[in-house]
Amino acid sequence: MAERAEPVITPALVAGLGVAGFLAALSLGTVAVVAAAADTPGHLGAGDWAALKFTLSQALVSAALSTILAIPVARALARRRFFGRDLLITLLGAPFILPVIVAVLGLLAVYGRGGLISELLVALGYAPLSIYGFRGVVLAHVFFNLPLATRLLLQGWQRVPGEHFLLAAQLGMSTRDINRVIERPILRSVLPGAFATIFLLCVTSFAVALTLGGGPRATTIELAIYQAFRFDFDMGRAALLALMQFAIGAGAAVFAWRLARDGAPGAGLGRVARRWDCAGFAARIIDGAVLAAVSLFLLAPLAMVLLRGVFGLGLLDAGAVTALVRSVIVALMSTALTLGMALVLGTAVARHGAGHMAGWIESAGHLSLAASPMVIGTGLFILLYPLVDPASVALAVTALVNAVMSLPFALRALVPVMRHVQSVEGMLADSLDMGGWARFRLVTWPAIRPAAGFAAGLAAALSMGDLGVVALFADPDAATLPLYLYRLMGSYRMEAAQGAALLLVAVSIMLFRLFDWLGKGA
């Protein structure tokens, strides 16, 4: 009687394929549009090849520094229990939702020409620092990615069964033995994926290069696309650069994907394995110094934004408020789009986890990691240019691009939970013949609600802080708050910019907390 299981076409699968197709069109289709608009090859100038070289070299150095520096930090966090440890781990998550431009302002306030350290140097009779160019771009990237690398490594430590550390203690292993037997295998399994992930994030970075780079020697491809468009209006060159960007992004994404697949996200970071080998004075001093240094590195720029921002708030005019309202509207639209797409893709992937289709659908959700927002923006610009005034749809396009850019992170938060629900309660739901909306509402949603809230919070904060495609589209009178802030910096109104930065970061965090709280609510 038993029939062989045939691949079933469910509404969930159809919807998933629909969204996946849309994403493919947006990510790859825009590349095709861009390619069609491109001149014949060979129009890339020396400056463009310099941009390629700069993009790769800064990403390599940033990724290497972030991962190497993260090793002692993660090790200290994994083996020390201390007051404020949870707070520090929360702080390590903060840069992810921190608007890039705010971090840049904070870094300038500490390391810049007029920053704290320069003031001290000048008072002592030395020349002030300058962080524009390669050094500044790498500094900002390490600021963002050292915490990420630390968290990824710490997750590696958390995956080691507690018994192994007890066993090490029982066998009387020294710190060196534990390093060889337990910790080096962790690093071998986590470091390549962390490196590739950070390399990918740095390759596609735009706002950092826009604010701290620039000039012939410190321009990323992403920035070069923007400039080709905005200043030279050279579509062909922009298209070629977009293709180059996509090739590098896709290559790095595939690498990161392969190397980082084992990482089970959502693993708690709270456990501290009790250790008997590193109770000595020297080891404790070293760990303490490492943790103090990383805390200072992360907190000093944030503290400067807070301190100077308070004074700058009074200098903001009505334009800032309008820009804030625009940003919030864009963020809310973008959040709704991200969450909607993530739920559709996640449902399809969870229900059809074993099939090829699910793999394609999940990959489509991550396409934007390879396709940079500038590539998508360029494509959309070319498409829309003959039809409407691009400035008039700038905000809607920004919301859409932001939503697509946040999608990989939303999927990372949601898909494992949705898979888990499917594996635990899926069979029961099947046996009760629960399907469609009832199944989602009664079985899936209650279980994934916290993850969905977190994903929505991420999407909202990322969109709030985005300074990317909006710079390409929006005219000066339709700026979002990050763009408004960038223009304040450009006209050297630094105090007002600090005020806008404080406003931006406060609202970003509030939106993140709001959605996270809604997810966790009763």
Give the single-character DSSP code of 81.
-
Cβ closest to other proteins, residue 263 vs residue 355: 263
Q: Does 264 bind other proteins (CB under 8 A)?
A: no
Q: How far is the CB of 166 from other proteins (least distance, A)?
A: 6
Cβ closest to other proteins, residue 81 vs residue 164: 164
Number of residues in contact with other proteins, rule: CB under 8 A?
20
Positive or negative CA dihedral for 189, 190, 191, 193?
Answer: positive
Sequence letter at residue 334: S
Q: How far is the CB of 180 from other proteins (least distance, A)?
A: 8
Alpha carbons 425 and 344: distance in angstroms, whole number = 19
Sequence letter at residue 317: D
Alpha carbons 507 and 465: distance in angstroms, whole number = 10
DSSP labels for 504-522? HHHHHHHHHHHHHHHHH--
Alpha carbons 302 and 2: distance in angstroms, whole number = 64
- Which x/- pattern over 275-314 shows residues binding other proteins (rule: CB under 8 A)? -x--------------------------------------
Cβ closest to other proteins, residue 42 vs residue 161: 161
Rg of the chain over CA atoms, in angstroms? 24
Phi, psi at 58, each rounded to 5°:
-65, -35
Alpha carbons 333 and 399: distance in angstroms, whole number = 6
Q: How far is the CB of 178 from other proteins (least distance, A)?
A: 9
For residue 206, which of 50, 328, 101 has the smallest C-alpha distance?
A: 101
**Of 25, 181, 393, 518, which lies in the binding site for other proteins, with binding defined by CB under 8 A?**
181
Cβ closest to other proteins, residue 171 vs residue 296: 171
Cβ closest to other proteins, residue 169 vs residue 243: 169
Which residues 332-391 are close enough to bind other proteins by CB under 8 A?
A: none
Cβ closest to other proteins, residue 282 vs residue 387: 282
Alpha carbons 154 and 88: distance in angstroms, whole number = 13
Cβ closest to other proteins, residue 49 vs residue 276: 276
Is there a contact between 286 and 75 (Cβ–Cβ < 8 Å)?
Answer: no
Number of residues written out for the chain: 522
Which residues 105-164 are close enough to bind other proteins by CB under 8 A?
A: 161-164
Q: Does 185 bind other proteins (CB under 8 A)?
A: yes
Cβ closest to other proteins, residue 275 vs residue 351: 275
Q: Does 270 bind other proteins (CB under 8 A)?
A: no
Which position has the token pair 């495609």? 469
Q: How far is the CB of 32 from other proteins (least distance, A)?
A: 45
Q: How far is the CB of 277 from other proteins (least distance, A)?
A: 9
Q: How far is the CB of 402 from other proteins (least distance, A)?
A: 42
Q: Please give the helix or strand (H or E) that residue 387 lies within, else none.
A: none
- Which x/- pattern over 160-179 shows residues binding other proteins (rule: CB under 8 A)? -xxxx-xxxxxxxxx-xx--
User: Where on the chain is the footprint of other proteins (CB under 8 A)?
Assistant: 161-164, 166-174, 176-177, 181-182, 185, 274, 276
